Structure 1
Amino acid sequence: MSVERPWLDHYPAGVPAQIDPDEYSSIVAVMETAIASFRDRPAFANFGKTLTYAEIDTLSAQFAAYLLGALRLRKGDRVAIMMPNCLQYPVATFGVLRAGLTVVNTNPMYTARELRHQLVDSGAKVLLVLDNFGDTAAEVLPDTSVQHVITTGLGDMLGVKGSVMNFVLKYIKKMVPEYRIHGAVRFNETLKLGSRHSLPDIDVGPEDIAFLQYTGGTTGVAKGAMLTHRNMVANMQQASAWVGTNVTLGQEIIITALPLYHIFALTANGLVFMKFGGLNHMITNPRDMPGFVKELKKVPFTAITGVNTLFNGLLNTPGFDEVDFSKLRLTLGGGMAVQRSVAERWKKTTGCTLIEAYGLTETAPAACINPMDLAEYNGAIGLPIPSTDACIKDEDGNMLPVGEVGELCLKGPQVMKGYWQLPRETADVMDADGWLHTGDIARMDANGFFYVVDRKKDMILVSGFNVYPNEVEDVIAMMPGVLEVAAIGMDDEHSGEVVKVVVVKKDPSLTAEQVSAFARENLTGYKRPKVVEFRSELPKSNVGKILRRELRDEQPS
């Protein structure tokens, strides 16, 4: 059955139906073009320090030369990067890509259990880790294939000011734990060592894996989505074609508050705005909302991306309404559903429409975006972007007509190569016709706008991050005092949803505090249950499967 594309008739003026995913052979080619065009323009800023495109060029080349010349890494080897937004991140990431290697983006908030799985699964040979998380790395390294560790402090690229910052973080604020990793090399030292090696001419091709981007798994195990250079370039081309009519080359300043290790910020901010010659103004700790607002008052920003939680937090922080929004032309929301109340308040406060987008790790990530000239929030996830097909399928795989509700399926050059070393899981989401099954329940209207009406049956979405109940349940079930456990999502005005666990006790003395403490040791913050409820039994099907849906349906709406 052929795909109807009513959305093409509703594209904003100047947006093409197709993009050329092969205009650039790799992210490296995009980067080199940007450096040539915007050499002296600012590229990344953080804590008052700015690096130009020329400086990113020099520093990333030094890091690439270190990886190849000093560490003798070979094309395709994996390098794990575990840090929040700081200047080391773009230097290291572009260095890894220039060396023909693969970036394994690693959430710095991972517990030892989560980090161990990702490092073992990816087979990473190198780990670059911020000092604040060095103790977690030190704990798991003996269990992994990591051969080289590079460590760095938050202030390492900030000069004298950075030395003071590192001292304060370690000795005054006690935010840097003691840890020891034998043979670890400091990041700044790798740049010096790299400058002694020449960077060989590496042929980085479109089908080479640029990123192993881990996403939660319904089996409770995180899976690495293989995103090739072509996938990433395609999505950058698609997104830049969509928003490009709204930008001025070499003049854009985008607020990058979402972590660049998250696929949304990585593509939308890091790559798209690099192509535009823009400045990524990085926020390291957006949870410090008063500090975030203070930073916004200093920057004449033109664009900002975020999740609903972030926009809601800003709107509820004193002083945000005093920020100068006169240059703001683009606000893009994704990662989780944008709430109407937040979108309407954002428009009233900033004068800029909050444009909702939809994507997945598996689509690098953008698949649908609302028109940039949208006058106000419309409740849709948008139109399929150039070179992207979308359809609604029933449970038998048949395409459904306009208005019918079914599973949203996607096809396009941005769709991942597959899950790393998981052919069966890849086949579960990619059908014989090449459609990616998102698991999201949606409908399409007559104009080609898509609306998500329900999400993956069991997934919980906390501040834009996927939480899969199986993983939470597997952890809580490890407690000797737990007989059975089910994890579900509860609505929350701050983070969209929070995790709730319903537990059947094996040990009658088990307390909610003990469950919470165990979760703190074994789960990243956003995955931890905020509510613990005890019951004598859980609802089950006739074959004994726990019925999470019944538990969810009991929640007040």
Structure 2
Amino acid sequence: MDRIWLKQYPQGIPADIDIDDYASLKHVLEDSCRRFADLPAYGNMGVSLSYRNLDRATRAFGAYLQKVLKLERGERVAIMMPNLLQYPVALFGTLRAGFTVVNVNPQYTARELEHQLNDSGASVIVVLENFAGTLQEVLPRTKVRTVITTQVGDLFPAFKRGLVNFVVKHVKKMVPPWSIPGSTPFLAAMRAGRALSLDYVPLGHEDVAFLQYTGGTTGVAKGAVLTHGNMVANVLQVAAWMARDLKDGEETVVIPLPLYHVYALTTNLVFMKLGAHCLLITNPRDMPAFLETLRKNPFTAIIGVNTLYGALIDAPGFAQVDVSRLKLISAGGMAVQRVVAHKWKQATGLAIIEGYGLTETSPVALANPLGIEEWTGTIGLPLPSTEAKIMDEQGNDLPQGQVEEICIRGPQVMRGYWNRPDETAKVLAADGWLRTGDMGFMDERGWFRITDRKKDMIVVSGFKVFPNEVEDVVAMHPGVLEVASIGAHDDRSGEVVKIVVVRKDPSLTEQDLIDHCKLHLTGYKVPKLVEFRTEPLPKTNVGKILRRELRAPAPVSS
């Protein structure tokens, strides 16, 4: 196809990347550990891990999986923790040993966790003990054979480790009671692994690196199969796109988004390839601690979503943060609001660089160039080696300016959904084109803009919420006759979940439903708005609820 957007590329950005530069993410890591051995790789709460020590630690963890647990090639290892030093160690150790990573949101409820563990077939899970109680509840109903537990400060120096772990457990009381007989402490696994050697595993582009879970139109989370080839491609694509200002071994990037989210995951991999110091923020909602980290660490790049940037720029004390070295402000996951972009431009002199992608594209597919002077409000241009077009329901390509579904093709597009060929066939064509579910158009220069969503998906602060999952949970309540879930605008999070309910029990209250949802749904999926109606919800002639009609003004209800 005619890639007209190439004419808009800044000087020095290649039209294509060479995916054969690296055979796997293992090779990317090993190259960085060799080239940047004495530089800091990851930092967290004032402690840094050098690339040399990252190499040693990941070898030890990988050897433990291979030699002690005797996992077979391709087995799935789940990681369930926030941004801590243990995360990259477990992540890269698993990949180097030839196994597949399953990223798990530690805030999952028991219901959500049980589904993901069973669907992925994970045989091992590494979990922060703060969340071990949830795991304990579902463990007997899963195929998990080995549980490795860790504490917040496990990779800190001895004194700080003891102090942090004591405060988290006994002062802040952030660790609910749990008991998992036979579980292995993370540090014990590391000690055992250090006495062993890591066997060489010949990984290539077709080997599966991640089962990265995303919601589904059926309300069931699906695992996007992301191969080493997919991930290497996106790392090289994003690295090429950012190459204008960033220098190997000289960058410090702030990562406040959780590494279990695909946007943070891949961005982290890109900066690891560049030999950057990656500052992992465990709890960005603790704004004073977040600002303290920023003040102590002059940074050159930061990633985030609109809501986080809005909260950060408005936080008391942000004006005292040194942004003089800042080169890149990257945003993804949700649309950036004009007012937030304007404030960051005023504060830093830099435009927010907004990108677009999906879990299914590893995730970055399009992005604004680094050279823009102002926020554009578009999702930018297709990355190197990426094609994008607008296609109608019948599969016809549409001309410039016409609105229909945005479709993506490139080496970063997933292999498919784990054990769901029917769901894969709905979005991924035999010729490699992926239907994104987002409606938009391409202008005459090759810039793309989103106008609407084809799917009913709700996006809360960059996290996807699929209505069917919320509806399934609400419908479990005995007082509900009918329910539909839709997105409602919110100035902070972009959208929040709203439910429209017809009551079976007239005494049912809004708080009853919210409390019920909190038992079964992660926080960002819990409805913030509840609307009761007395009339049946609008439906098609086959009985499917018309969510689009529910977004219109509601009829009067009692």
Q: Say yes or no: TM over 0.5.
A: yes
1:195 offset after TM fit, Å? 1.2
Q: Which amino acid aligns with 1:94?
A: F
Q: Which amino acid aligns with 2:221?
A: A
Aligned residues of 1:79 and 1:104 also touching (Cα < 8 A) = yes
Counterpart of 2:20 in 1: which secondary structure? coil
Q: What does residue 184 of structure 1 align with?
A: 183
Q: What does residue 69 of structure 1 align with?
A: 67
Q: Distance in 2 between matches of 1:66 and 1:7?
A: 48
Counterpart of 1:254 in 2: which secondary structure? strand
1:544 offset after TM fit, Å? 2.0
Counterpart of 1:158 in 2: which secondary structure? coil
Q: Deviations over 1:276-330 (max 9, x none)?
A: 1101001000112232122211111000011001100101111112211100000
1:161 offset after TM fit, Å? 1.1
The question of 1:248 aligning with 2:247 is answered yes
Q: Distance in 2 between matches of 1:133 and 1:89?
A: 15
Counterpart of 1:273 in 2: which secondary structure? helix
Q: What does residue 512 of structure 1 align with?
A: 510
Count how many residue pairs are aligned between Structure 1 and Structure 2.
Answer: 553
Q: What does residue 128 of structure 2 align with?
A: 130
Q: Which amino acid aligns with 1:354?
A: I
1:532 offset after TM fit, Å? 1.3
Q: What does residue 200 of structure 1 align with?
A: 199
Greater mean deviation of Cα atoms: 286-295 or 186-195: 286-295
The normalised TM-score by structure 1 is 0.98
Q: Which amino acid aligns with 1:206?
A: H
Q: What does residue 4 of structure 1 align with?
A: 2
Q: Distance in 2 between matches of 1:111 and 1:117?
A: 10
Q: Distance in 2 between matches of 1:67 and 1:307?
A: 35
Counterpart of 2:79 in 1: which secondary structure? strand
Q: Which amino acid aligns with 1:271?
A: L
Q: Distance in 2 between matches of 1:404 and 1:554?
A: 28
Q: Deviations over 1:478-537 (max 9, x none)?
A: 111111101011100111100011111111111111101110100000000011111113
Counterpart of 1:18 in 2: which secondary structure? coil
Q: What does residue 305 of structure 1 align with?
A: 303
Q: Give the one of 4, 10, 13 matched to 2:11.
A: 13
Identity score, percent: 58
The question of 1:213 aligning with 2:212 is answered yes
1:28 offset after TM fit, Å? 0.5
Aligned 1:32-71 pairs, distance under 5 A: 32-71=30-69
Q: Distance in 2 between matches of 1:314 and 1:456?
A: 32
Q: What does residue 265 of structure 1 align with?
A: 264
Q: Distance in 2 between matches of 1:457 and 1:188?
A: 44
Aligned 1:117-156 pairs, distance under 5 A: 117-156=115-154
Q: What does residue 85 of structure 2 align with?
A: 87
Q: Which amino acid aligns with 1:225?
A: A
Aligned residues of 1:325 and 1:351 also touching (Cα < 8 A) = no
Q: Which amino acid aligns with 1:113?
A: R
1:38 offset after TM fit, Å? 0.4
Q: Distance in 2 between matches of 1:307 and 1:162?
A: 31
Q: Distance in 2 between matches of 1:122 and 1:395?
A: 31
Q: Distance in 2 between matches of 1:232 and 1:395?
A: 29
The normalised TM-score by structure 2 is 0.98
1:157 offset after TM fit, Å? 1.0
Aligned residues of 1:207 and 1:229 also touching (Cα < 8 A) = yes
Counterpart of 2:551 in 1: which secondary structure? helix
Q: What does residue 481 of structure 1 align with?
A: 479
1:456 offset after TM fit, Å? 3.4
Aligned 1:93-108 pairs, distance under 5 A: 93-108=91-106
Counterpart of 1:118 in 2: which secondary structure? helix
Aligned Cα RMSD in Å?
A: 1.1
Aligned 1:135-534 pairs, distance under 5 A: 135-159=133-157, 160-268=159-267, 270-534=268-532
Q: Distance in 2 between matches of 1:303 and 1:456?
A: 33
Q: Distance in 2 between matches of 1:457 and 1:227?
A: 22
Aligned residues of 2:109 and 2:134 also touching (Cα < 8 A) = yes
The question of 1:535 aligning with 2:519 is answered no
Q: Which amino acid aligns with 1:37?
A: R
Q: Distance in 1 between matches of 2:308 and 2:295?
A: 17
1:172 offset after TM fit, Å? 1.5
Q: Distance in 1 between matches of 2:278 and 2:424?
A: 34
Q: Which amino acid aligns with 2:263?
A: F
Q: Distance in 1 between matches of 2:92 and 2:542?
A: 51
Q: Distance in 2 between matches of 1:141 and 1:176?
A: 18
Q: Distance in 1 between matches of 2:38 and 2:195?
A: 24
Q: Deviations over 1:174-197 (max 9, x none)?
A: 110010001000001101001122
Q: For structure 2, which runs of at least 5 residues remain unmatched after alignment?
A: none
Aligned residues of 2:405 and 2:454 also touching (Cα < 8 A) = no
Q: Which amino acid aligns with 1:497?
A: E
* Structure 1 consecutive aligned stretches of length 4 or more whose deviation exceeds 6 Å: none
